[in-house]
Amino acid sequence: MTLRVGVIGTGAIGQEHIHRITNKLTGAKVVAVIDVNKEQVQAVAEKIDAKIYETGHDVIKAEDVDAIIVTSWGPTHEEFVLASIAAGKPVFCEKPLAVTAEGCKRIVDAEIAHGKKLVQVGFMRRYDESYRLLKETIDNQRIGEPLIVHCAHRNPSVPQGLYYGAMPIVDTFIHEIDVLRWLLNDDYVSVQAISPRKTRDAAEDLQDPLMVLLETKKGIRINGEIFVNCRYGYDIQCQVVGETGVANLPEPMSVLMRSEAKLSTDILVDWKKRFIDAFDVEIQEWINDTLKGEVNGPSAWDGYFAAVTADACVEAMEAMNSGKIVPISMPECPKFYL
Amino acid sequence: MTLRVGVIGTGAIGQEHIHRITNKLTGAKVVAVIDVNKEQVQAVAEKIDAKIYETGHDVIKAEDVDAIIVTSWGPTHEEFVLASIAAGKPVFCEKPLAVTAEGCKRIVDAEIAHGKKLVQVGFMRRYDESYRLLKETIDNQRIGEPLIVHCAHRNPSVPQGLYYGAMPIVDTFIHEIDVLRWLLNDDYVSVQAISPRKTRDAAEDLQDPLMVLLETKKGIRINGEIFVNCRYGYDIQCQVVGETGVANLPEPMSVLMRSEAKLSTDILVDWKKRFIDAFDVEIQEWINDTLKGEVNGPSAWDGYFAAVTADACVEAMEAMNSGKIVPISMPECPKFYL
Amino acid sequence: MTLRVGVIGTGAIGQEHIHRITNKLTGAKVVAVIDVNKEQVQAVAEKIDAKIYETGHDVIKAEDVDAIIVTSWGPTHEEFVLASIAAGKPVFCEKPLAVTAEGCKRIVDAEIAHGKKLVQVGFMRRYDESYRLLKETIDNQRIGEPLIVHCAHRNPSVPQGLYYGAMPIVDTFIHEIDVLRWLLNDDYVSVQAISPRKTRDAAEDLQDPLMVLLETKKGIRINGEIFVNCRYGYDIQCQVVGETGVANLPEPMSVLMRSEAKLSTDILVDWKKRFIDAFDVEIQEWINDTLKGEVNGPSAWDGYFAAVTADACVEAMEAMNSGKIVPISMPECPKFYL
Amino acid sequence: MTLRVGVIGTGAIGQEHIHRITNKLTGAKVVAVIDVNKEQVQAVAEKIDAKIYETGHDVIKAEDVDAIIVTSWGPTHEEFVLASIAAGKPVFCEKPLAVTAEGCKRIVDAEIAHGKKLVQVGFMRRYDESYRLLKETIDNQRIGEPLIVHCAHRNPSVPQGLYYGAMPIVDTFIHEIDVLRWLLNDDYVSVQAISPRKTRDAAEDLQDPLMVLLETKKGIRINGEIFVNCRYGYDIQCQVVGETGVANLPEPMSVLMRSEAKLSTDILVDWKKRFIDAFDVEIQEWINDTLKGEVNGPSAWDGYFAAVTADACVEAMEAMNSGKIVPISMPECPKFYL
C-alpha cells in the first residue's frame, strides 16, 4: 500500500520533502500540490505527475489524498493543520506548528476533541543518528541520572539585516528546546538569559553569543550557548553530565587527517549537511507510522510546549543580566499525549 | 517504473536483501524467488507475495523479472550469472563471483561477448560512508599521491573448526583486496605473506594474526594485518600515507563517554552493524543504476581481479616467511571495463 | 649560588616541597624547619640535615635563611607572611594567603609599604603544562578575543562529614578563580550561583554539583561547574570560546587503547597525579626568580583578589537560584602590582 | 654530594647537556671540558667556570672528574669510552657507541673484563614520557602478549645532499631499533626491507619512504615506516597489537582547537621539541644512578645490539624488494648485562 500525500507549499523545504519521497524513500507518493507561486508549483507538479489544486483546503479535501504535509509560510500552518484534523487526515507540519502559543493550544484542543492523534511537527533532530546514540546512552543508564546539560549551537555566520532580535531563540535555539525535552524525558519550568561579551562580528541588532539557562522539573540545569557568528563552522555540541558519567553528542563522521602540522577532522560549514540524513529518517518514519495509523514523532503537544518555552526564553532575553527568572507555565500533559 | 527482481537463494543474505528492497529501499520489488530449501522459500514468498519457481534458470527466464540477485551457495554463482548474461538481464551477484579465477574469467568473457555490462559483484565496502569519505579525501588530493597503506581487519573471534587455513584471505581479506584497488585507483602486481607471533586464542589450523604485503602498479605498498581473534572488537582500520599527509578511515560514530576512569568511545563487536548501512546504499544504487540501464558498481572484472589476487595471496601464505614474492598476473584491463 | 630556604610547617605539603627542593630541583636547599608536631619535624630535619627552630618567627629571622616557605595551618599564614615582609625576605605561601579578605588586604598593604615585591601565593595551576598551552593559544590570538568560558572541576568523591557547605568554593573552585583571571588577563565583576539536580552520592550538607556564573570586566561569561562526587574520575575541563575559534584545555597524556570494545584513554582518579609536575615547575621557577630578586608568580594582590571573589561566590551560593547577582568589588589594582 | 662531570666535545649536543646539568638538573656540575674547536670550548668553559683540558684523555684522567660525558665526533667515541673504562670511571656516550659493531664489541669486552658496568649509551627515547606510558601499558599486561608493532618515524624534510643512502637506518631508524627492543623486552632475529612508491620530494640518492620489517625472538613482527620528507610534521607513531588489545604511543600534549572548519591538535614540526624533556630525564637519571654507583640506562650491550641490527638493516636495504631475509646474529647476552 502506498501513502498518497498532498503537499501544501512547494518552496525550498517543500521541494526537498517531495524529492525525498519521490526518489529516496519508500511507501509514499506525492499526488497533490499547491503553492501561492503558480509557476513554481507547475514545475514541481510536472516532474512528479501530481495534481495541482487551487487552495490548501482543496488538497486536504481531495479524495485521493491520504495525508498532508504542510510546508507553506509559517502564519498559514495553524489553519491547514486545523483543517487536516477536521478532515480526519494525518498531517506533518514543518515548524512552527503555529506562530503563537495560543495557536498551538487551539491545535492541541482540536486534536483532543477529534479523539485520535493526527499531527506531527517537523523537529528533525530527534531523527539524527548522533542524538539517537546520545539518547540511547542516557536511556540505558550509562551515565546515571542526568544532572546538567552543556550545549552549544554555533553557526559560522548569519546574514546582517535578516537575522536579529529574538531570532537566536525562535529560529535557532528552538531546535535545542525540543530535542532536549525529548533527550531528557523532562519538561522545563523556568529560564534565565545572560549576555556574554559580544563578538565584533555581530550586527548591532543582535546579541551574539547568548546564554540561556533552563531548569527542568527534575532540577536538571541546561547551559545553552547560542553563537551564530562563530566563524569556524556549523557546530552542534551537547554534553550531558550524569551521576556516574558524562556523555557527548558524537561529532559527524570525518576522516582523521595529518596534514600541515595538524592532526584534524573537518568541521562542517554548511548546516544543510549536518541534518540531511535526519530529514530522510524523519519522513520515512512518518510514512511508515502513518501507514500503520500511528503518530510517534513530535506531537502537537511538543509543538505547543516548544512555543511556550520559546516565549519564556524571549521574555528572559529581554530582561537579560537582570537575574530575572521567567517561569515556563504549562498545564499538565493530557493523557491523550502520554 | 519499478524494477522487478528475482532472487536466487533465500538464505540469510538473500532474505536480508529481500527485506531491504521491500521495506527500506525504493524503486524495486521482489517478484520471483527460488531456493533449495522449499519450506524457507515458501515462508519468504508469502510474506512479500512473490512467485516461487522450480529452478534459478526459471527465475532468470521469467518474463516479469527484470533483474536478478544471486545469493545462492557460492559454487552455483557462476552458472546463474552466465545464464543471466545469456538472457540479457542485469545481475547482482554476492561474492564470490565464481569460486575460481577461471570461472570469473568465463563470466568476463561472456559479458564482453554479450556487448553490454550486466554484472555487479557484492563488494559492499565501496558503499560504506567511511570508505567513501576516505576516497574523497584521496581523490581531492588532500594527502598528495598515496605511497603506503597500513590496514587492519580485526574480528573479536572466529568459530574453531569452521574458520581455518586460507580463510583469512578468501573470507576476510577479500574485502580489503577489492576496496583498496578502488580506493587507490590502482592494480596489484605482487604479494608476500608473513606470520607474526600467533595469539594463544587461535586454533591449531589457523595462522592468526597474519600479515599480507601487497605491491601495486604505481609502487604503493600495502601492509595488511588480518587478526580474527583480536578479542577486543570488530575493527576495520585503514591509514593511507601520501606525499603531503596521512588520512585514516573514520571510526564509526559513537558517543564520547567519561565513565569509570576512561574517556572512551565504543568499538563495535558485531560485524553486521559495521556495514549494515553500506548494504542499503549498495542495493539502492544498484536499483537506480539498473533502472537507468547502467552498471556502476564493482564489475565482473573487479570480481575477476579479486579472485586472481586472492589466489596469489593464498600462494604467498603457503610460502610465508620464506621471502617468496608471488606475482599477481592479470591481462590488461579490456576497454569494455574502463 | 644556592637559595637557603626555611620551611614553616612540615605536614604533607611541606614535606613534599622539601622533598622536591632536596631531590628534584636545582638552586636551593632547605636549611631551617619548624612544625608544631615535634616528632615529625625531627624526622624531616634529620633526613635533610636542616636546623629545627622553636617558632616560625625564629625561622624567618635566622641569618642563614634567605627565603621562606609557609606551609603551616591556614589561619597562621597571614602572621608568617607579614613577618617575612617585615624581615624583608621573599616568602612563598601556600593557599590561602590569609583566611579572610581583610587579612589578604593587610598583606598587600604591608608589601606596598615595604616597597618591593616579596610574596608569592601557591596557585600551582598557572605552572601546569596544559594551562600554559591554553594560555599561549589565547595570547597568540588563535581564537580571537575570549567571549565565554565553560569549565568543570570534577572529583570522583569527597569524604562525607569533612567536605560540606561552602567548601566547593573555598577548597575547590578557588583554583579556577585564580587560574581563569590569569588565563583571561581579566578581573571579575559579579557572580551568580545555581544548583542543578543533586546527585544521590552527595551528603545532605553539600550541594553537588554546583554551577557558578562569573562575569568579567570585559564581559566574558564563565560557566563554572563544580562536581565533587562525579564518580568517574578527577577531571579538570576548560573550554574557551573566542571570536574566531574554541580552545580546550589539553587532556593529560595517556595511551590510546583498543580493549574490551572500547577505544579509550585513561582518566586520572587521583588528583595528586594531575598537578604533580606543576608543583615542581612552580617551586623551581620560584627558586630561580627569588635568586634573581624577582617575584613573577601569583602575587599578594592575586591572593587578595581570589579571597574577595571567593567571598562573593559564597554569598551567591547562599542565595542560589534566587537570581541574585553578587558584585565583586575590588579597588583598582595598584601600580605596584601591574 | 655533587657529581663532577667532564664533557668531551662541546658542540651542539654537548652544550645542551652542559646547559641542563648547570641550570635545570640537580646533583652534578660540569668541571672539565675539551673540544677541537678551541674558541668554542673557551666560551663554554667561561660561562660555567670549568677547566679546559688539552685532550679527551686528560679529562678522563683528571682527578676531580668523577664521570665522563662523550659528545665528540662519532668516530672518536670508542676511544674515549674505552679510556673511561680503563680509568674505571662512569661514562655517558651519545650514540653511536662506536661507528662499527666490532668497535661496540670491543667496548663490551673491555667492560666485562673490568668487571663493573660503567657505560651508558644516549638512547633518549627510553626516557620519553609517552614511551614510558606505552611500556607500562604493555608490562601491566593490559594488551596481553605483543604480537605486531606498527611504527612510523616521520620528519617533515631532510636537507638534500646531507641526508642520503643508509641514513634512514643509521641516523633515524636507529632510535626505533633501540627503543622497541626495550619496549618489547625482546631481541631481533631477522630483517627485510621494502621500498614503497617514492615521494617526489625525495632526492635521487634517497629511498623515501622506506619499510623495514623486523622479526623478534618471540616472533613479534615490526612494520617500520621511515618517511623523512613527509611534509606535514615531525611525527613518531607506534602501535602495539597484543593478544587482547591494541595500544598507541600517546600524542604530545596539545590544545584541542575548533578553528577554520577544523577540529584539530597541533603536530610538532621541530624534532627538538619532541624529545626535549626526555633528554632532561635521561641525564638526571644518569646523574642519580651514577651517584649510587649504578648503570640502569641503555648499556654497552644495547649499543652493540643496535649496531649489529643497523648493519643487518642496511644489508636488507641494499637488497630491498628481493625478498631477502637478513639474519641478525648476536651471541647470547652475557650474564653481566642481564
Percentage of residues of chain A with pLDDT beyond 90: 99
* Partners of residue D246 in chain C, C-beta under 8 Å: 257-259
Reduced 3-state DSSP string for chain A: CCEEEEEECCCHHHHHHHHHHHHCCCCEEEEEEECCCHHHHHHHHHHHCCEECCCHHHHHHCCCCCEEEECCCHHHHHHHHHHHHHHCCCEEECCCCCCCHHHHHHHHHHHHHHCCCCEEECCHHHHCHHHHHHHHHHHCCCCCCEEEEEEEEECCCCCCCCCCCCHHHHHHHHHHHHHHHHHHCCCEEEEEEECCCCCCCCCCCCCCCEEEEEEECCCCEEEEEEECCCCCCCEEEEEEEECCEEEECCCCCCCEEEECCEEEEECCCCHHHHCHHHHHHHHHHHHHHHHCCCCCCCCHHHHHHHHHHHHHHHHHHHCCCCCCCEECCCCCCCHHHC
- Whether D334 contacts D112, CB under 8 Å: yes
* Partners of residue B231 in chain D, C-beta under 8 Å: 144, 243-245
CB distance from D218 to chain C under 8 Å? no
Min Cα separation B19/chain A (Å)? 13
- Whether D153 contacts D227, CB under 8 Å: yes
Query: What domains appear along chain B, each with residue ranges and CATH number?
Result: 3-122 (3.40.50.720), 128-267+305-337 (3.30.360.10)
| Partner-chain contact A243 C200, CB within 8 Å | yes
Min Cα separation A228/chain D (Å)? 14
How far is C-alpha A149 from the geometric centre of its chain's CA atoms?
19
* Partners of residue B292 in chain A, C-beta under 8 Å: none
| Partner-chain contact B218 D241, CB within 8 Å | no
pLDDT score of B1 more than 90:
no
| Partner-chain contact D200 B244, CB within 8 Å | no
Min Cα separation C230/chain B (Å)? 9
Which pLDDT belongs to residue C1? 80
* Partners of residue C239 in chain B, C-beta under 8 Å: none
Which pLDDT belongs to residue C61? 98
CA distances C148 to A137, A174, A247, C143, D264, Å, are 28, 21, 21, 12, 20
Q: What is the pLDDT along chain D (338 residues), one digit of tens a residue?
A: 899 999 999 999 999 999 999 999 999 999 999 999 999 999 999 999 999 999 999 999 999 999 999 999 999 999 999 999 999 999 999 999 999 999 999 999 999 999 999 999 999 999 999 999 999 999 999 999 999 999 999 999 999 999 999 999 999 999 999 999 999 999 999 999 999 999 999 999 999 999 999 999 999 999 999 999 999 999 999 999 999 999 999 999 999 999 999 999 999 999 989 999 999 999 999 999 999 999 999 999 999 999 999 999 999 999 999 999 999 999 999 999 99
B103 three-state secondary structure: helix
Which pLDDT belongs to residue D1? 80
Min Cα separation C281/chain A (Å)? 28
| Partner-chain contact A221 C211, CB within 8 Å | yes
How far is C-alpha B57 from the geometric centre of its chain's CA atoms?
25
Min Cα separation D271/chain B (Å)? 17
pLDDT tens track for A181-226? 999 999 999 999 999 999 999 999 999 999 999 999 999 999 999 9
User: Would you place residue C250 in the very low, low, confident or very high pLDDT band (cuts 50, 70, 90)?
Assistant: very high
pLDDT tens track for B63-89? 999 999 999 999 999 999 999 999 999
| Partner-chain contact A233 D266, CB within 8 Å | no
Choosing among C263, C266, C269, which should be mutated to test the B contact, i.e. which has the most B CBs within 10 A?
A: C263
Which pLDDT belongs to residue C154? 98
Give the pairing of strands C3-8 and C221-227: unpaired
Among partner residues B232, B233, B260, which is closest to C232 by beta-carbon distance? B260
pLDDT score of B11 more than 90:
yes
Choosing among C141, C195, C197, which should be mutated to test the A contact, i.e. which has the most A CBs within 10 A?
A: C197
Close Cβ partners of A226 (under 8 Å, ≥ 6 residues apart): A152, A153, A168, A169, A172, A173, A208, A209, A210, A211, A212
Min Cα separation D223/chain C (Å)? 19
| Partner-chain contact D147 B196, CB within 8 Å | yes
Among partner residues A245, A251, A258, which is closest to B246 by beta-carbon distance? A258
- Whether D140 contacts D329, CB under 8 Å: no
Min Cα separation D20/chain C (Å)? 10
Min Cα separation B165/chain A (Å)? 34
Among partner residues D251, D264, D269, which is closest to A264 by beta-carbon distance? D264
* Partners of residue C256 in chain D, C-beta under 8 Å: 247-248, 250
| Partner-chain contact C243 A218, CB within 8 Å | no
Query: CA B288, CA B3: separation in Å to the nearest integer?
Result: 9
| Partner-chain contact B263 C259, CB within 8 Å | no
Q: What is the pLDDT along chain A (338 residues), one digit of tens a residue?
A: 899 999 999 999 999 999 999 999 999 999 999 999 999 999 999 999 999 999 999 999 999 999 999 999 999 999 999 999 999 999 999 999 999 999 999 999 999 999 999 999 999 999 999 999 999 999 999 999 999 999 999 999 999 999 999 999 999 999 999 999 999 999 999 999 999 999 999 999 999 999 999 999 999 999 999 999 999 999 999 999 999 999 999 999 999 999 999 999 999 999 989 999 999 999 999 999 999 999 999 999 999 999 999 999 999 999 999 999 999 999 999 999 99
Give the pairing of strands A256-259 and A262-266: antiparallel
CB distance from B129 to chain A under 8 Å? yes
Lookup result for grid cell 670511571? D89
* Partners of residue C260 in chain D, C-beta under 8 Å: 245
pLDDT tens track for C80-94? 999 999 999 999 999
pLDDT tens track for C61-81? 999 999 999 999 999 999 999
Which pLDDT belongs to residue C71? 98
Which pLDDT belongs to residue B224? 98
User: Would you place residue C243 in the very low, low, confident or very high pLDDT band (cuts 50, 70, 90)?
Assistant: very high
User: Would you place residue C306 in the very low, low, confident or very high pLDDT band (cuts 50, 70, 90)?
Assistant: very high
CB distance from B259 to chain A under 8 Å? yes
Mean pLDDT of chain B: 97
CB distance from A183 to chain B under 8 Å? no
* C325-335 mean pLDDT: 96
Which pLDDT belongs to residue A1? 80
CB distance from A248 to chain D under 8 Å? no
| Partner-chain contact A255 B26, CB within 8 Å | no
Cell of B73: 551457495
Count how many pairs of residues, chain C against chain D, have C-beta atoms within 8 Å: 78
Subunits adjacent to chain D (3 or more Cβ pairs under 8 Å): A, B, C
* Partners of residue A197 in chain C, C-beta under 8 Å: 145-148, 216, 218-221
CB < 8 Å from D in window 30-69 of B: none
Give the pairing of strands B188-194 and B210-216: antiparallel
Percentage of residues of chain C with pLDDT beyond 90: 99
Which pLDDT belongs to residue A294? 97
Subunits adjacent to chain A (3 or more Cβ pairs under 8 Å): B, C, D
CB distance from A157 to chain C under 8 Å? no
Which pLDDT belongs to residue B239? 98
In which region does residue B132 sit, left (phi positive, over 0), alpha (psi from -120 to 50) or beta (all else)?
A: alpha
Among partner residues A130, A253, A259, which is closest to B245 by beta-carbon distance? A259
pLDDT tens track for B118-140? 999 999 999 999 999 999 999 99
pLDDT score of C172 more than 90:
yes
Among candidate residues B156, B178, B161, the one with its CA nearest the CA of residue B169: B178
Q: What percent of the residues of chain B are helix, what percent strand, and what percent coil, each to the nearest 5? A: 40, 25, 40
* ipTM summary value: 0.96
Close Cβ partners of C192 (under 8 Å, ≥ 6 residues apart): A323, C212, C213, C316, C323, C324, C325, C326
pLDDT score of B172 more than 90:
yes
Count how many pairs of residues, chain B against chain D, have C-beta atoms within 8 Å: 115
- Half-sphere exposure of residue B230, counting CA atoms within 13 Å on the CB side? 31
* Partners of residue B209 in chain D, C-beta under 8 Å: 147-148, 241
Count how many pairs of residues, chain A against chain C, have C-beta atoms within 8 Å: 115
Reduced 3-state DSSP string for C281-305: HHHHHHHHHHHCCCCCCCCHHHHHH
Min Cα separation D267/chain A (Å)? 5
